[in-house]
Amino acid sequence: MSSGKVTSTIFTEGGRLDPGTERAVHSVYRSRGSAAGRFLAPLFLLCCLVVALCGPVSAADGDYAPLWDKGANDVVSSVAVTRDGSAVVAGSGSTVYLLDREGNVLWKTAVGSRVNGVGISPEGSRIGVAADKLYLFDRDGNLLWAEKTTYVYLGVALSSNGTYVAAACDNGAIFIFDRNKKVLWDYDMGTDSYGIAISENGRKIAVGCDNQGVYYLNSREGESWSYGTGKRVKSIALTRDGRFVAAGSLDRCVYLSTGEGEHLWKYPTEGAVLSTALTDEAREVLAASGMTVYILDRAGAELQKITLDGRVESIAVTPDGSFLVVGGGDGDRSIHLFTRDAALMKEKNSTEALVNGTEVPDQRAGNVTVPPTPADDNANTALGASARTQDEEVSITSQVLGWVENIVSLLFRPQEDFLA
């Protein structure tokens, strides 16, 4: 195995800078950043206030609304979704579920221990499960192979068509398998790896580790860059082209970086960040923290919050942002599907109106609260999903205050001591 370690470096075309130069550059960057911030912050804030004052903005435009939820018998520790949202895979306890877009359970199966991570290839032909073994299933639930070792698998991610299966282990190693179980490459991180993500072509890999590190690797080559967050990194997300990386840390922050190693921002949340997700071009950065899913734009400004009645354990999103999957922990223990597809929401509301004989209110809102669903493996709760919504129009004063809070958070708190 190769050996890896956490580093916090600045890269140039020629490679890494020596430590002394690195410290000097960091100092210059911070100095220039502070001066620029003092000049630009008031201007940026003024611009945002002008935008906010130009007229009320509908909180419902483009927001996620609940489509269905499915009760599980345990904490939903991991979820994944296909590129088009046609299939959702979830791990709950020692059970793996595959559901369709309507919330029907296509199949479920038990593995030998608690499921630590699940993954699905973008088109949905292969499903990976990280547990006591590394399992690979096909779309119909047939077990293709299982890799047993003396260590536990903590995370799994798949490239297109399941050509490459990336797995993170509690012995400090990550592995790349082909679809026939052949080990193509391994790398020793020197620490437990809790989250792993892979680009669609399998060439880029991002890893979050117990030693507080975020790593960006080139397949079969090794580490490109890394940085420290100050606490364990529980989750990692990668755009399908590998150009952006989001990391969630127990330091209560979500981080966004480019594939070239440029740190863009960190955003403080109310609790430890247990899961992250990204849409194409990082147009949206999603983070699960406490009972809340934060939806941020690429600049780090808050777009929406979704709140469960229990802890949010896991999230996954389609590349175009049409579908969002949320796995609930204690107090919820459900698999939730949210959508922005207006046609699907209209169809759902119409169906509910026919079933209930009443009008169904529009469920789109900037902040959505979703109650828990009782666990029932035999009942499809697609028509029983409900959400307490907030349809009141936001006043101009509230919008201005919200803009101020978001801008202050983006300009100051996310930038403090970013580099380790």
Residue 396's pLDDT is 47
Residue 24's pLDDT is 35
Question: Exposed, middle or buried, 327 (CB in 10 Å: 0-12/13-18/19+)?
Answer: buried
- Quick: pLDDT tens for 16-39: 334 333 333 333 333 334 444 444
Q: How far is CA 68 from its chain centroid? A: 19
Residue that is written with structure tokens 């902040």 in the block? 367
Q: How many CB atoms lie within 10 A of CB 167?
A: 26
Residue 393's pLDDT is 37
**SS3 of 360, please?**
coil
* Cβ 238 vs Cβ 245: under 8 Å: yes
Q: At what angle are helices 19-53 and 396-411 packed, to 10 degrees?
A: 170
Residues of the chain with pLDDT under 70: 1-61, 352-366, 370-420
Which of 264, 247, 258 has the alpha carbon at shortest distance from 301?
264
Residue that is written with structure tokens 């809790």 in the block? 194
pTM here is 0.75
* Cβ 65 vs Cβ 339: under 8 Å: yes
Whole-number Å distance between alpha carbons of 405 and 398: 11
- CA dihedral for 391, 323, 104, 314, sign (positive or negative): negative
* Cβ 294 vs Cβ 279: under 8 Å: no
Task: For each of the domains in the chain, give its residue range(s) and CATH number, in order of start.
Answer: 65-370 (2.130.10.10)
Residue 206's pLDDT is 97
